Every structure is written in structure tokens, then in C-alpha cells.
Structure 1
Amino acid sequence: MALTKTKPKELGFKAPDFSLLDPKDNESKTLNLLMGKRGTIVAFICNHCPYVKHVIEEINNIAIDYKERGINLIAINSNDIENYPEDHPDKMVEWANALGFQFPYLFDENQEVAKAYDAVCTPEFSLFDEELKCVYRGRLDAASPGNKAPVNGADLRAAIDSLLSGNKEIPNQIPSMGCNIKWK
């Protein structure tokens, strides 16, 4: 399995708008509809990636822990489902229901949203402030399959806590790493 790291991108960029299918209710959802009052996390994930599977419960925990504080998490699957049928929207719904996702899990069928965000791997996280300007682009934490680092969301949680305390200059941004997005 090829390991891919988040592509460097200067912070401060505005979150690209989108309208994507939510397979759960078969309706399109927009960034403006789903964004949080105090911040928004856009996470690129998929069903089959072992790196995502390793941390998915913590991703859900972060969505739960910060929702009441005005931070919303939006997950997007941009993978080619013809060659990776495990990532099909029907399977996305099954997985979201089985794990009790407390966040929307959207499907980027034409992969344009992943390209707009310069996303290249799963999982990959970008944190935006209340004006949808990027303040963090990095990993969840140091955990990955096979290492002994705890799955605790430490890096992303520190970034969110920093944003909530009014600090938009977030240090220690380490790129996320995982499977590459499966391009068509």
C-alpha cells in the first residue's frame, strides 16, 4: 500500500464551496449548510483505507465533542468507486450507520471537491475558522496501523482548541498520511 502525505498548501485559503450527495438521505448538501458557527473541519476519508479504519472512532468522537462548541465536521469520500466498490455510496451509508457517525459523510463523485481542496490522501484534515479560512491542515494524531501511538486526536484537538481560544496561528502542523485518493 502506497503511503501518501498531505500536499503542502499555504494556510489562510478560503474553503472551496461544494454541493455533494449525502447518500444517507440522497440529497445534496452544501458547505454553507453544514459549516459550524465557530469552525469547520473538512476530512477526506473512505471506507476501505486501513489508516481511516484505524482512527475512525476518534474522528467520530471529535465530531461529537466539538459540535456543541460550534465546530462541525464534514467527511468526504472522493474515491473511484468503480475500482474500489467498498467505497460506493451504499457502503458509505452502511458504514456510517454501523459506526454511528455523528457527522455528514458526503460523496464526491466527480472528484472535483478533492481537487479544489488539494486533497491527496485519506485521512486528511483541514480546519477552517468561522470565515472559512484555513487555519490547520494536518494529521489527526501520530497513530497509524502498526505503530503503538495512541489514537487520541491530539494534533487536531489541539488545533481546534487553539482556534476556539481565539488563536488562528496554530503551530506544529504535521502532514497527515495514509492511502492516496483513488483517482479515476
Structure 2
Amino acid sequence: MAVTPSKMLPLQQQAPNFNLLDVSLGKKVSLDNLKGKKGTLIVFMCNHCPFVIHLLEHFISLAEELKPQGIATVAISSNDIESYPQDGPQQMQTLCEEYGISFPYLYDPTQEVAQAYDAACTPDFYLFDDQNKLVYRGRYDASRPQSGKPITGEDLKNAALNLIHKKPISENQFPSMGCNIKWK
């Protein structure tokens, strides 16, 4: 399987707004509607990527842990569904039901949002503060499919907890690794 690293955007960059379909609600939502009191975690993901599947259950638990602490989570799928129909809105909704995903899972049909965030792979994580400034971009943790390393979420979780508790977030961040976004 080919591995694509995330692009390491400059920290403090402003989060681009969006207006995308929430597949569970069946209506469009914007970043302004979804942002958390203390911050917002945006992850570009898809249904079929082995890197996403590898950590999905752990990530869902982390998102649930962060929610009452003021961090909202938003997932976005930007893959070309003509080439990868398993990543389409109906399949996204099915994934939400199967895994009990309670955070919004949005569909980016034009891929403009992925381009605005300069997303490169799935999963690709972006953590923004309460002013929508980028404070973390990078990997979930050091685990990968078949690596033998445990899934901990420590890189992302430490950044989120530091944000919540108003502590400095290390700028020594490592790129996420995963499948490339399937561009049209």
C-alpha cells in the first residue's frame, strides 16, 4: 500500500470556512456551526483507507473524550466517489451507524475544502484553537497498520489536552501518514 505524508502547514494559519453536507443529518453545515468552545479538530478521512480503519475505533473514543472538554470533532471525506464509490455519502452514513460515530462526517464533493486545507492523506488531522488558528497538524500517533506499535493517539491527544488547559503545544510535530486523497 502506498503511503502519503501530510503537508505540514504553518502553525497559526486560519481555518478555512466551509459549507458541506453532514451525511447523518442530511443538511449542510459550516465550520462556524460546528466549532468547539475551546477548539475544533478536523480530520480528513474516508471509509476504505487501511490507515483510517486502523485507528478509527480509538479515534472515535478520543473524540468522545474531548467533546465535553470543549473540543468539537469534524470529519470530512473528499475522495472522488466515481473511482471510490465506497466513500460516497450513503456509505459514509452507514459507517457512522456501524461505528456509532456521533461527530459530523461531512462530504466534500468538489474537493475544494480539502484543497483549502492542503490536505494530502487520510487520515489528516488539524487542531484549531477557539479563534480558528492552527495549533497542531500531524499524526495521531506512531502506530501504523501492521507496525506492531500500540494505538495510543498520544500525539494528537497531548496537543488537544494542552489546548484545553491553555498550556504550550510543542511545535515539534510529525506528519500524518496514510492513503493519498483520491483526487478527481
Which ranges in structure 1 are unaligned for 5 or more consecutive residues? Answer: none
Deviation (angstroms), 1:170: 2.3
Q: State the identity as a percent.
A: 49
Deviation at 1:103, TM superposition (A): 0.7
- State how far apart, in whole Å, the 1-side matches of 2:21 and 2:175 are: 27
Give the structure 2 partner of residue 76 of structure 1. 76
Q: TM-score, normalised by structure 1?
A: 0.97
Q: Deviations over 1:51-95 (max 9, x none)?
A: 000000111011100100000110000000000011010000001
Name the structure 2 match of 1:16. Answer: 16
Structure 1 Cα separation of the partners of residues 161 and 169 of structure 2: 12
Deviation (angstroms), 1:143: 1.1
The residue matched to 2:7 in structure 1 has which SS?
Answer: coil
Summarize the alignment of residues 18-33 of structure 1 with structure 2, pairs less than 5 Å apart: 18-33=18-33
- The number of residues matched between the two structures is 184
Kept after mapping to 1: 8 A contact 2:126/2:136: yes
CA distance in 2, matches of 1:172, 1:8: 11
Partners of 1:162 and 1:170 within 8 A in 2: no
Partner amino acid for 2:54?
H
1:47 deviates by 0.1
Provide the secondary structure at the position in 2 that maps to 1:20: strand
C-alpha separation in 2, matches of 1:180 and 1:38: 30
Partner residue of 2:119? 119
Instruction: Write the distance in 1 (CA, Å) between the matches of 2:167 and 2:109.
Output: 35
What CA distance in whole angstroms lies between the structure 2 residues aligned with 1:78 and 1:31? Answer: 16
Equivalent in the alignment of 2:94:
94
Q: Is the 8 A contact 1:135 1:168 kept in 2?
A: no
* C-alpha RMSD of the superposition: 0.9
Correspondence for 1:164: 164
Runs of 4+ with >3 A deviation: none
Q: Which structure 2 segments of 5+ residues have no match?
A: none
The 8 Å contact of residues 74 and 104 in structure 2, kept in 1 or not, is answered as: yes
Counterpart mapping for 1:131-170 below 5 A = 131-170=131-170
- Paired AA for residue 8 in structure 2: P
